[in-house]
Structure 1
Amino acid sequence: MVNQYDVIIIGGSYSGLSSAMALGRSLRKVLVVDHGKPCNRYTPHSHNFITQDGETPYHIYQKAKSQVLAYPTVDLKEDKVLTVSKTEDGFEAKTLNDSFFAKKIILATGIKDVFPEIKGFEDCWGKSILHCPYCHGYEVQNQQIAVVGNGDIGYDFAKLIYQWSSNIVLLTDGKSTLSDEQASKLLSKGIRVIENTIKEYNHSEGQVTYIKLSEGMELSVDAVFARVPFQQSTSFAEDLGCNMLPSGYVQVDEMQRTSVRGVYAVGDSTSMMRSVSVAVATGTKAGAMVNKELIEEEF
């Protein structure tokens, strides 16, 4: 069959390339299809990944891609997958330019952050408006930090960030839904709660300087921690009939298998643990398990 592979990997960032390496080294014929827009493209530096701490995401990606493509068993197509469907013998992936067939599919498609419609937010995202203290907390330790959140989520987020800085303000962006006990505990830790709505993040080339709030209030900050809603980058998992979690992630087991035989999912689409190291680990597991599944079917 034309364009026939053992495995098609949709998405060529860290988890997808990690899967490709495991499979390429297993002598499997692998196709990686990628359109080149990783979710951490906003971030200037990647941290908390040994051997690569402080490197730019682009540098890590380029090095990973060159190492993976050194294996003649792996092909990379810069293209956009439009649909993925089951066939009698496996799966078909249709792209803008072609169709490809494989026995197994690995979805490394990631997620898309849904930014609030607040001026300056997207410009600062990944630079000074941050989502993960394990990725970025060390660099802003003991600085003036605003945490955005409300209710239980805001309380837990402020409590987490307090490990890195005691100079914290919690912005509820509207009327607080904190319990009296939570508000009292925050106050005892010196964390001020501000209920004014957020109007704008003033910044210089992505570095936030102050936040404009309602009623003419301005708050000087060095960094902001915020969690934003997300959506799957593609509907491929649902199109194939994979179970989804109430949280919006693709449901996988400990070896990255979805509920549909032959379909695996890796990386940010499966877990709230959004880091390069975790993405790489999920890709390695999936690659090994897909190879094992093929062996069991072929032997």
Structure 2
Amino acid sequence: MTRRAFIKLASTAAWAFTPSALTPNMTFYPMKDQTDFDVIIIGGSYAGLSAAMTLGRSLRSVMIIDSGNPCNKQTPHSHNFITQDGEKPHVIAERARTQVLKYQTVVYLKGLVVHAAKEGNGFRIVTQKGETFESKKLLFATGIKDQMPDIDGFADCWGISVVHCPYCHGYEIRNQKTGIMANGQRAFHLASLVRNLTPDLTILTSGKADFTEEQLLKLDKNGVTIIENPISGIDHQNGYIRQVVFDNGSKENFTAAYAAVPFVQHSDLPASLGCELTEQGLLQVDMFQKTTVSGVFACGDNANPMRSVAFAVSSGTMAGAKINMELTEEIF
């Protein structure tokens, strides 16, 4: 089917829907048997939806495939994103999905992609249900997966009162007794930022502190204390910290804590296609969100250390614009 015929069908088909009827579990196809798209976006959270809107407004045929497992699913509120400050993350995503799916060249599929391969001048992907789709370009907005430490109660508090970013959460826990669960340079860096938000700050190194003499002097000067006892658990109520429990049986009251936890890519499909990673474990992209594999792009947390809704949206818009430009150059 030609591109013009596709657009004509999209504008007149009987399956047209109203945004108020959308739900996250619904699946949309512009025509019953369509399997070939300009772009397939794997991951339908903020970055993927932002890219889809940019491409949809350029009349590119786009399929979003999303498994519905965002990294911030436990976070009660999103901050530092203008016009959406304080909103629940899932509300932002649902509103964005509704707006994106107004563009009739964009479709959404709830599913999990388990295979991706380069074929000819494009790509072929296969879902867990065995569905097969093809596209000219492939965009990964798959995010990352945090690796929870073996600390009782930590995972229950993650994103609620144990947080990763002072820009996303710091204002809400300002002037509270706050811990930093990290060591070395990472802990020092966090302490320098968080000290501006609270005078009551303690670094919890869970082992021998690893700071230079200069760093120790600065920490002492700013009233930052250090506890080296290993952490065994977090006493909390519905994800809100009450006490940090140490291996030696001692306890310390805290209201909130920052933590630096390792992560892995949420999807290993980019690596299977040959996409290179940075030393941090992020997908290596250029300023236009292009990976090291031609035709494959990445946006959002999987390629950006600045983990926030605002950065995800920005990178998705950039990826969508660059993909559209490449598609244009290939046919113009």
User: For the superposition of Structure 1 and Structure 2, which TM-score range results when normalised by the shorter chain?
Assistant: over 0.9
The Cα offsets for residues 49-98 of structure 1, whole Å up to 9 and x where unpaired, read as: 00000000011011000000111100100010001110013000100220
The range that moved more, 171-180 or 132-141, is 171-180
2 CA distance for matches of 1:55 and 1:285?
Answer: 24
Deviations 1:204-250 (A, max 9, x none): 00000010012221110010000100000111111111121111000
Aligned to 2:221: 188
Specify the alignment match of 1:14 in structure 2: 46
Separation (CA, whole Å) in 1 of partners of 2:149 and 2:143: 20
TM superposition shift of 1:151: 1.5
User: What are the Cα deviations for residues 165-205 of structure 1, in whole angstroms up to 9, with x where unaligned?
Assistant: 11101111111111222222211211111100001100000
Deviation at 1:287, TM superposition (A): 0.5
2:22 matched to which residue of 1? none
Matched, 1:48 2:80: yes
The superposition leaves residues 99-121 of structure 1 with CA deviations (integer Å, 9 ceiling, x where unpaired) of 00000000001000000011000
The counterpart of 1:240, out of the listed 273, 280, 284, is 273
Aligned-pair Cα RMSD in Å: 1.0
Deviations 1:246-289 (A, max 9, x none): 11000101110111111100000001100001000000011111
Using the TM superposition, name which of 173-182 and 246-255 deviates more.
Answer: 173-182
Q: Supply the distance in 2 between the matched residues of 1:227 and 1:152 (Cα, whole angstroms).
A: 11
Q: Distance in 2 between matches of 1:179 and 1:288?
A: 45
Q: How many residues get paired?
A: 299
What SS does the aligned partner of 1:249 have?
coil
The SS at the match of 1:267 is coil
Question: Which residue, out of 177, 198, 211, partners 2:231?
Answer: 198
The alpha carbon displacement at 1:22 in A equals 0.4
* Residue equivalent to 2:89: 57
Native 8 Å contact 2:101 2:107 kept in 1: yes
Q: Which runs of 5+ in 2 are unaligned?
A: 2-33
Asked if residue 154 in structure 1 is aligned to residue 199 in structure 2, the reply is no
Question: 2:242: which partner in 1?
Answer: 209
The Cα of 1:12 is off from its aligned counterpart by 0.2
Following superposition, which runs of at least 4 residues in structure 1 exceed 3 angstroms of deviation?
none
The answer to whether the 8 Å contact 2:157/2:240 transfers is yes
3-state SS of paired residue (1:163): coil
Distance in 2 (CA, whole Å) between partners of 1:278 and 1:7 is 22
Decide which of 155, 162, 168 is 1:135's aligned counterpart: 168
* 1:13-35 CA distance string (max 9 Å, x none): 00000010000010010000001
Contact 2:186 2:260 in 1 (8 A): no
**CA–CA separation in structure 1 for the residues paired with 2:248 and 2:67:** 44
Higher mean Cα deviation, 156-165 or 41-50?
Answer: 156-165
Q: Determine if the alignment matches structure 1 residue 276 to structure 2 residue 312.
A: no
CA distance in 2, matches of 1:271, 1:162: 25
Question: Which residue of 1 is the match for residue 151 of structure 2?
Answer: 118
TM-score, normalized by length of structure 1? 0.98
Q: 2:24 maps to what in 1? A: none
Report which stretch shifted further, 16-25 or 144-153.
Answer: 144-153
Q: TM-score, normalised by structure 2?
A: 0.89
Structure 1's unaligned 5+ residue stretches are: none
1-structure distance, mates of 2:51, 2:169? 26
Residue in 1 aligned with 2:11? none
1:220 is aligned to 253
